[in-house]
Amino acid sequence: MELRSLPTSTVLSDNVSICTLGNVNVIRVLHHKFSAAISLFGGHLLSFQPSGEKDILWRSENAIYSGEKPIRGGVPVCWPWFGKVQAPSHGFARNSEWALNEHRESEEGVIVSLTLKDSSDTLALWSNRFLAELRFEFSTSAKVSLIATNTDTKSWKMGGALHTYFSIGDIHQTKVSGLGNQYIDSLADSKLTPSNGTTDFTEEVDRIYTAPETMITIEDPAQQRRIRIQNQGDNAAVVWNPWIDLSHEMADMMDNGYESMVCVESTIHDQSVELAPGESHTLSTEIGLA
């Protein structure tokens, strides 16, 4: 799906327009340094492509743009929890319609901000009042920040993840480093397992690295490139590749989809951030080519 060529429904400025993909409204940003696309459904970054490069983000060829199910690929926003803490899995933010708050542009890049507030729908799932902002800062790299504010009169706890799907040439040649010295193995009863900080991929991987370095690197020799990831406000980096069987099981994934993607996620696991009324927390990830 070529996002650059979607028909425009509304022009917002020289660089920013709105277009439609299936049932979702997409903010498309075309700038001389990059192009990007954000779905308002989920506040979901679908594409980030520095000029002259292939997309850094992976999207499933079978992704569903119904405006009901989370989109497979890009940067799903998992919030206010990560995983199956309660239903829906990975929180409601990725299933919610976000509002465009502002967009600003310059020679250097473009900033887009979206917001999501508590509503009767969210309160039925999670009884806390909040304001969440997603701030996208695009230039030659892309920084995604999720700023959560407690607008309630009581404290609440949150987790979450910026569940980034990276596009790689060949998973069999891919190596991720900077992951730190241990991980919780979600495929082995959450066993705490020592690590040398690097992993390659020969089977399904679903790991919560609890002491990642400030810079994580994906080596992608098949596309002759290296992706750099800098996360903040997290307490873990989740690394996930579904491999063969799970790719077959997922309706919105091609059978061979696992070969060209890897997730490296800026994560708050265990609902470990507690916010008092009026307090905010920022979880971010910055991605770019080395």
Identify residues 47-76 at the interface with ligand TA6 (CB under 6 A): 70
Kindly indicate which of the ranges 1-9, 26-34, 83-91, 220-228 contains the residues binding ligand TA6, using the contact rule CB under 6 A. 83-91
207 binds ligand TA6 (CB under 6 A): no
For residue 43 the two structure tokens come to 């506040």
133 binds ligand TA6 (CB under 6 A): no
Peptide bond preceding 80 in cis form (omega within 30 of 0): yes
The gap from C-alpha 59 to its chain's centroid, in whole angstroms, comes to: 11
Smallest distance from the beta carbon of 17 to ligand TA6, in angstroms? 28
Per rule CB under 6 A, count of chain residues that contact ligand TA6: 11
Is there a catalytic annotation at residue 90? no
Smallest distance from the beta carbon of 72 to ligand TA6, in angstroms? 7
Is there a catalytic annotation at residue 53? no
CB of 166 closer than 8 Å to CB of 49: no
Among 73, 83, 159, 233, which residue sits at the site for ligand TA6 (rule: CB under 6 A)?
Answer: 83
Distances (CA, A) of 100 to 26, 143, 144, 212: 11, 17, 15, 32
What's the sign of the alpha-carbon dihedral 204, 208, 213, 216? positive
List 133, 163, 259, 269, catalytic entry? 163
Q: Which helix H or strand E contains 249, and what residues bound it?
A: helix 243-249
42 binds ligand TA6 (CB under 6 A): no
List 133, 137, 259, 265, catalytic entry? 265
Cβ proximity to ligand TA6, 149 vs 260, nearer residue: 260
Q: Which residue has the tokens 């993840």?
A: 161
Smallest distance from the beta carbon of 270 to ligand TA6, in angstroms? 14
Identify residues 84-103 at the interface with ligand TA6 (CB under 6 A): 89-90
Whose CA is closest to 182, among 170, 171, 191, 172?
Answer: 191
Which own/partner contact pairs does 243-247 have at CB distance under 8 Å and 24+ positions apart? 243/201, 243/203, 243/204, 243/205, 245/204, 246/204
Smallest distance from the beta carbon of 10 to ligand TA6, in angstroms? 30
Cβ proximity to ligand TA6, 126 vs 243, nearer residue: 243
Give the residue numbers marked as catalytic: 163, 265
Catalog residues that contact ligand TA6 under the rule CB under 6 A. 70, 83, 89-90, 163, 186, 206, 238, 240, 263, 265
